[in-house]
């Protein structure tokens, strides 16, 4: 580990800055804390807005943007090999210094202003004011909330800084990602935040409150088709022939994974009852004519389950459902397919979402997102490898591979297209959760490198009625997707 000077404001530092220090110390770094006297305090308008939304959304405890009375100065045991300027205005030094820019501004009021105005900020970690050594494009889950959106952005600022320090400790160098996209932009002002909040954030908050009075917060529907033709992974567009899996309206189906077993097609789905707010896994058998039977529950836990990836390996049938709410990724084995499943082993601890399995280069790999303690579950890609399904599963040394709402979260199983390329469906959160899917090609994967192409967006043209999709899968002739629908609360019908 390395010795690091962390520079924070002397007065009114923020909770996210304190969290960086805590995380660096937990990684074993020798951390000194230095004060910068002239850093700007959080304006009263932002404090009032954040406090209002904290109460509105019933969030307990201080947010990451909340001001603290003080972060105590502390000396380290050795001269610093790295400085982290979290105040945004530290004096130049001979020690390599990393600063953060939020949309080109060093002020951490900038992400709050951007989110209030309805924009998605980009975070850049800049070495000595010249070279970008890391970028993050955070996901904002609740676009109607400036406070919670700012929390999402600041959470990824923490992730980014800690990951850069970890990489520097291991290699003694930094990645060169060019020059800042918007160098020298003026910092946000109290007036700018207040204007953005009153003119944009509050109206969005009001519209969302009105919408939720009459409509379900989210209601997904699953689409399926049997086809011998090339699928979406080959054509890049949805096309025609889709049927909608019926649902009763008081719960929805999502995250479809098809599986062929002994000549019959089965579909495993997230089954979400609106009344409980906790999903289970259900199976939908198809008869010989391609007609779905009534879904039935096959797996339930005390926590939410989704993304039921089902596959055959080592003479057994397995399920790897998403269970981030339970804090661990558990592998299940079918003891009476398709209805009986037994927990076999825990593969990974943590808030791991949508873990997607791949066999490549003589190893097994899992691509997933990691919430990293705070913020969104949809923007931080991590990869694990193992020699066998039961493990041990080892984090990739470059984790997090990327922080990018456009391509971090898997949206279905890996697929090899007609050209032999390995593609991963990835969720694009630019328009919000479930806003769309893309296809990223796996370019490099080994124990030192993970590289995916920029995703090619899937064209929603065709007869599927719900263009906001976030899952794509195929097994044999059965291809499946899902899409979000506007469903009224009073009738359960669209």
For every residue of 365-389, DSSP letters joined together read EEEEEE-TTSS-SSSEEEEEEESST
Tokens 């502390």, residue located: 74
What mean pLDDT do residues 131-137 have?
A: 97
Q: Are 149 and 433 in contact (CB under 8 A)?
A: no
Q: In the chain, pLDDT over 70 holds for what percent of residues?
A: 98
Asked if 226 and 478 count as a contact pair (C-beta separation under 8 A), the reply is: yes
Q: How many whole angstroms separate alpha carbon 206 and alpha carbon 204? A: 5
Residue 187 pLDDT? 65
pLDDT band at 184, cuts 50/70/90? very low
Place of tokens 């100065």: 73
The two tokens of residue 381 are 């890609």
Question: Looking at residues 330-356, what average pLDDT do you find?
Answer: 97
Distance CA 439, CA 443 (A): 12
Q: Which pLDDT band holds residue 98 (cuts at 50, 70, 90)?
A: very high
The CATH T-level fold of domain 3-213 is Rossmann fold (3.40.50)
Domain(s) of CATH 2.115.10.20: residues in the chain: 217-484
Q: How confident is the model at residue 181 (pLDDT cuts 50, 70, 90)?
A: confident
For the stretch 379-402, pLDDT in tens is 999 999 999 999 999 999 999 999
Interval 29-47: pLDDT, tens: 999 999 987 767 788 999 9
pLDDT score, position 186: 58
Would you say residue 185 has pLDDT above 70? no
Stretch 288-294: mean pLDDT: 96
- Strand ranges (E), 314-379: 316-322, 328-336, 340-349, 352-360, 363-370
CATH architecture of the domain formed by 217-484: 5 Propeller (2.115)
The predicted structure's pLDDT at residue 258: 98
**Beta-strand pair 3-9/243-244:** unpaired
Q: How confident is the model at residue 492 (pLDDT cuts 50, 70, 90)?
A: very low
% residues pLDDT > 90 (the chain): 87
Encoded tokens for 42? 């959080």
CB 112 within 8 A of CB 188: yes
Is the predicted pLDDT of residue 289 greater than 90, yes or no? yes
8 versus 491: the higher-pLDDT residue is 8
User: Which residues of the chain form CATH 3.40.50?
Assistant: 3-213
Predicted confidence at residue 493, as pLDDT, reads 47
This prediction has a pTM of 0.95
What b/e readout covers 108-132, taking b as 16+ CB neighbours within 10 angstroms? bbbbbbbbbbbebbbbbbbbeeeeb
Separation of alpha carbons 6 and 75, rounded Å: 10
- In this structure, are residues 282 and 269 in contact, taking their beta carbons and an 8 Å threshold? yes
Asked if residues 444 and 451 have their Cβ atoms less than 8 Å apart, the reply is: yes
Average pLDDT, the chain: 94
**Cα(161)–Cα(152) distance, integer angstroms:** 15
With beta carbons less than 8 A apart as the criterion, state whether 96 and 57 touch.
Answer: no
Mean pLDDT, residues 109-122: 95
Collect contacts of 449-454 with beta carbons under 8 A, ≥24 apart: 449/398, 450/383, 450/396, 450/398, 450/401, 452/401, 452/402, 452/407, 452/424, 452/426, 454/407
């Amino acid at each position: 580990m390395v010795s690091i000077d962390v520079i924070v404001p002397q007065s009114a530092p923020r909770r996210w800055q304190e969290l960086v220090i805590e995380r660096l110390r937990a990684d074993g770094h020798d951390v000194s804390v230095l004060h910068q006297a002239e850093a700007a305090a959080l304006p009263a308008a932002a404090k009032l807005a954040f406090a209002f939304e904290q109460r509105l959304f019933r969030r307990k405890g201080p947010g990451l943007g909340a001001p603290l009375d003080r972060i105590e100065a502390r000396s380290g045991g050795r001269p610093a090999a790295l400085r982290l300027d979290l105040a945004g205005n530290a004096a130049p030094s001979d020690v390599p210094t990393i600063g953060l820019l939020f949309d080109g501004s060093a002020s951490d009021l900038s992400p709050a202003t951007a989110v209030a105005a309805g924009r998605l900020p980009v975070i850049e970690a800049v070495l000595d004011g010249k070279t970008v050594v890391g970028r993050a494009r955070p996901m904002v889950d609740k676009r109607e909330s400036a406070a919670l959106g700012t929390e999402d952005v600041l959470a990824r600022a923490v992730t980014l800084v800690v990951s850069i320090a970890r990489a520097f400790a291991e290699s003694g160098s930094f990645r060169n990602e060019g020059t800042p996209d918007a160098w020298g932009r003026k910092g946000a002002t109290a007036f700018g935040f207040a204007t953005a909040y009153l003119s944009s954030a509050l109206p969005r908050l009001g519209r969302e409150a009105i919408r939720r009075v009459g409509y379900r917060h989210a209601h997904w529907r699953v689409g399926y088709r049997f086809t011998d033709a090339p699928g979406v992974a080959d054509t890049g567009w949805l096309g025609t022939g889709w049927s909608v899996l019926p649902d009763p309206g008081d719960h929805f189906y999502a995250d479809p994974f098809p599986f062929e077993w002994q000549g019959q097609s089965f579909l495993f789905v997230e089954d979400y009852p609106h009344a409980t707010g906790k999903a289970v896994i259900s199976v939908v058998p198809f008869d010989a004519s391609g007609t779905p039977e009534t879904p039935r529950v096959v797996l339930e836990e005390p926590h939410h389950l989704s993304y039921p990836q089902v596959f055959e390996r080592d003479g057994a049938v397995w399920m790897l459902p998403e269970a981030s709410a339970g804090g661990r990724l558990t592998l299940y084995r079918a003891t009476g397919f398709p209805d009986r499943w037994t927990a076999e082993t825990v593969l990974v601890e943590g808030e791991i979402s949508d873990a997607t399995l791949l066999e490549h280069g003589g190893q097994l790999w899992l691509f997933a997102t990691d919430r990293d303690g705070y913020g969104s579950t949809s923007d931080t890609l991590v990869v694990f490898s193992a020699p066998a399904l039961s493990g041990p599963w080892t984090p990739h040394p470059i984790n997090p591979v990327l922080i990018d709402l456009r391509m971090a979260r898997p949206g279905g199983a890996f697929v090899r297209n007609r050209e032999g390329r390995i593609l991963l469906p990835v969720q694009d959160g630019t328009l919000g959760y479930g806003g769309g899917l893309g296809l990223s090609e796996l370019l490099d994967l080994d124990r030192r490198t993970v590289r995916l192409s920029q995703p090619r967006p899937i064209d929603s043209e065709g007869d599927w009625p719900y263009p906001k999709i976030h899952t794509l899968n195929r097994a044999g002739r059965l291809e499946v997707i899902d899409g979000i629908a506007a469903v009224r609360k009073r009738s359960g019908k669209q």
